[in-house]
């Protein structure tokens, strides 16, 4: 068990390192000066023209005129001090741009995690309890079919059905633009109204995973001897299920929930773009399209760090929950 944790920390740190290195090297791998080629290939994209002054700033920031190791050192130094550079497009410090958009992403990712975990566990438990019945097989089939549709396509479908066809939900944004609120409740409701579909999409994409995991683990656990012992003690079905069965079956689910954030990072970028939701996913896209390198690197870094933090948290929590793991 100790071995596992050591390699786990190693894995997390090396992932971070790899991303940092990629972050560092990518712009430098472009032929020529990355900042003179800002052509746009797509129809309807803006062409960004930099002034000489901006150009000089970036050359300086990236240290393109200095030897490689010095560049890397200054890069690391900048990171430590939280200086992520300046966004070309927004003309603001990258960290500011990120702070503007990150909360929205956090909102939908966290909500989706919570919702999918809770519903997945509930449905999985019900499914495990009723596994012989026909209704369960229908549920399983439906779930599995759901899982195969990628999140952004699912989002598109939901968007088309609920926002376009039925006009129940908004088409874009996190809040209604130029809205006047009569109080905090109104504001919260508005936010929820806009966040509903993205959260639903993200939740659905993760739901099956949690559901299947809960169901299968629970089924395995119920065959274990200690469940029989608990029943023999006359503790009652509810007690047996919750205190003994779930308590053991939920351990892998907890792990998965922690990692879910990482898994969702891939989907959230696309989902935000489908719903035009102004989180860092959308920001990343516009940054990529507009070749806003500092911003791209900043967002990538934020994603990597957040995944790392989640992994570490999961590790800590799991250690508390399972006494067999040596802490």
Partner 1 sequence: MSLLKINNLKCHYLTDIDTVKAVDGISFEIEEREILGIVGESGSGKTTVALGIMGLLPENTAVSGEILYRNEVISSLPEPEMDRFRWKDIAIVFQNGLEVMNPVLKVGVQVMEPMIKHLDISPEKARSKCADLFRTVGLDPKWMDSYPHQLSGGMRQRVLLAMALSCDPKLLVLDEVTSALDAFTRKEIRDLLVDLQKNGYTMLVISHDITFVSSVASRIAVMYSGKVIETGPVRDILVSPLHPYTRGLVHSTPDIFVYKDLWGIPGDVPSGDEFKGCPFSPRCTQRIDICNKTSPVLVPAGKGREIACHRGGIAGLLAAKNLNFSYRLPDGEYLQAVNNVNLEVMEGEVLAIVGQTGSGKSTLAHILADVIRPECGDVLFTGGNVFGGNYGSRFNGIQIVFQDPFSSTSNRFTVLDAIKEPLYINKIGSNGDRLQMVKSALELVRLPSNDNFLRKYCGELSGGQRQRVALARAMVMEPKLLIADEITSALDVSTSANILRLLKGLQNRRGFAMIYISHDLSLTLKIADRIAVMNSGRIIEIGNSHDVMLSPSDEYTKRLVGSRIGLCCHTH
Partner 2 sequence: MIKDTDASGNAGILSFIQALNINKTNIINRVNRIGRVNRIDRVNRIGRVNRIGRVNRIDRVNRINKIVSSVSKPFSRFSTEGKIGIFGILCIILMAVFAPVITTYSPQRITGDSLEPPGFGHILGTDELGMDIWSQICYGARMSLTIGLAVAFISGFGGGAIGILAGYIGGYIDQGLMRVIDVTMALPSFPLLIVISAFLGPSILNVILILVLFSWAKPARIARSQTLSLKKNSYIIAARNYGAKPFYLLWRHILPEILPVLFVLVIGISSHAIVAEAGLAFLGLGDPTSKSWGMMLNHATGFRSIYFTPYWQWWLLPPLFMLIFLLLCLAFISRDMERILDPKLKIKKGF
- Which among partner 2, partner 1, none contacts residue 188 (Cβ within 5 to 8 A by kind)? none
Is residue 236 within the footprint of partner 1 (CB under 8 A)? Answer: yes
User: What's the token pair of residue 32?
Assistant: 């020529």
- Which among partner 2, partner 1, none contacts residue 235 (Cβ within 5 to 8 A by kind)? partner 1
Beta bridge partners of 93: 86
CB 257, min distance to partner 1, A: 18
Q: Phi, psi at residue 86, to the nearest 5°?
A: -120, 135
228, 242, 305, 313: which one binds partner 1 (CB under 8 A): 228
CB 218, min distance to partner 1, A: 14
Is residue 121 within the footprint of partner 1 (CB under 8 A)? Answer: no
Task: Give the residue with the Cβ less far from partner 2, 7 or 229.
Answer: 7
- Interface size with partner 1, residues (CB under 8 A): 23
What distance in Å separates the CA atoms of residue 17 and residue 12, rounded to the nearest whole number?
A: 9
Task: Give the residue with the Cβ less far from partner 2, 123 or 265.
Answer: 265
What distance in Å separates the CA atoms of residue 32 and residue 38, rounded to the nearest whole number?
A: 12
DSSP-based three-state secondary structure for 93: strand
What distance in Å separates the CA atoms of residue 23 and residue 13, rounded to the nearest whole number?
A: 15
- Which among partner 2, partner 1, none contacts residue 319 (Cβ within 5 to 8 A by kind)? none
Is residue 230 within the footprint of partner 1 (CB under 8 A)? Answer: yes
- Which among partner 1, partner 2, none contacts residue 323 (Cβ within 5 to 8 A by kind)? partner 1
- Which among partner 1, partner 2, none contacts residue 144 (Cβ within 5 to 8 A by kind)? partner 2
101, 194, 244, 256: which one binds partner 1 (CB under 8 A): 244
Residues 6+ apart with CB under 8 A from 287: 87, 89, 295, 296, 299
User: What's the token pair of residue 56?
Assistant: 């000089």
**Is the CB of residue 276 less than 8 Å from the CB of residue 173?**
yes
Task: Give the residue with the Cβ less far from partner 2, 175 or 263.
Answer: 263
Task: Give the residue with the Cβ less far from partner 1, 30 or 321.
Answer: 321
Nearest to 261 by CA among 106, 91, 33, 74: 106
Number of neighbouring beta carbons within 10 Å of residue 185 = 9
Q: Angle 72-77-82 (CA atoms, 0-180°, nearest 5)?
A: 125
User: What's the token pair of residue 310?
Assistant: 């989640």
Q: Tell me the chain's radius of gyration from C-alpha atoms.
A: 24
224, 252, 262, 273: which one binds partner 1 (CB under 8 A): 224
Nearest to 294 by CA among 304, 303, 284, 306: 284
Residues of the shown chain interacting with partner 2 in the complex, contacts defined by CB under 8 A? 7, 10-12, 14-15, 18-19, 22, 26-27, 29-30, 41-45, 137, 140-141, 144-145, 148-150, 152-153, 156-157, 160, 163-164, 171, 262, 265-267, 269-270, 273-274, 284-285, 288-289, 291, 296, 299-300, 303-304, 307
Q: How far is CA 326 from the centre of its chain?
A: 29
Strand locations in the chain (E):
none
- Which among partner 2, partner 1, none contacts residue 273 (Cβ within 5 to 8 A by kind)? partner 2
Interface residues with partner 1 (CB under 8 A) are 224-226, 228-237, 239, 243-244, 247-248, 251, 321-324
């Amino acid at each position: 068990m100790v071995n596992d944790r050591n390699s786990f920390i190693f894995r997390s740190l090396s992932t971070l390192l790899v991303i940092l290195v990629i972050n560092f090297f990518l712009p430098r791998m472009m032929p020529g000066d990355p900042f003179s080629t800002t052509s746009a290939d797509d129809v309807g994209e803006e062409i960004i023209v930099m002034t000489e002054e901006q150009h000089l700033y970036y050359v300086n920031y990236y240290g393109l005129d200095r030897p490689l190791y010095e560049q890397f050192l200054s890069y690391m130094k900048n990171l430590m001090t939280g200086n992520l550079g300046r966004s070309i497009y927004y003309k603001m410090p990258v960290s500011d741009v990120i702070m503007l958009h990150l909360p929205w992403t956090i909102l939908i990712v966290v909500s989706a995690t919570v919702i999918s975990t809770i519903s997945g566990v509930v449905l999985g438990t019900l499914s495990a309890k009723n596994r012989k019945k026909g209704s369960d097989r229908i549920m399983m089939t439906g779930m599995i079919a759901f899982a195969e549709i990628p999140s952004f396509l699912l989002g598109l479908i939901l968007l088309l059905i609920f926002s376009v066809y039925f006009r129940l939900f908004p088409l874009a944004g996190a809040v209604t633009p130029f809205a006047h609120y009569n109080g905090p409740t109104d504001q919260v409701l508005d936010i929820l109204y806009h966040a509903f579909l993205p959260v639903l999409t993200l939740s659905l994409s993760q739901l099956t995973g949690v559901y299947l995991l809960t169901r299968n683990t629970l089924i395995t656990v119920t065959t274990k001897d200690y469940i029989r012992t608990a029943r023999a003690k006359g503790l009652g079905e509810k007690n047996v299920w919750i205190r003994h069965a779930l308590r053991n079956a939920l351990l892998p689910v907890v792990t998965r929930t922690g990692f879910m954030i990482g898994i969702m990072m891939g989907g959230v970028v696309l989902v935000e773009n489908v719903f035009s939701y102004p989180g860092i996913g959308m920001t990343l896209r516009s940054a990529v399209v507009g070749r806003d390198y500092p911003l791209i690197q900043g967002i990538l870094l934020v994603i990597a760090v957040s995944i790392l933090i989640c992994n570490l948290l999961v590790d800590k929590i799991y250690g508390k929950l399972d006494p067999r793991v040596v802490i």
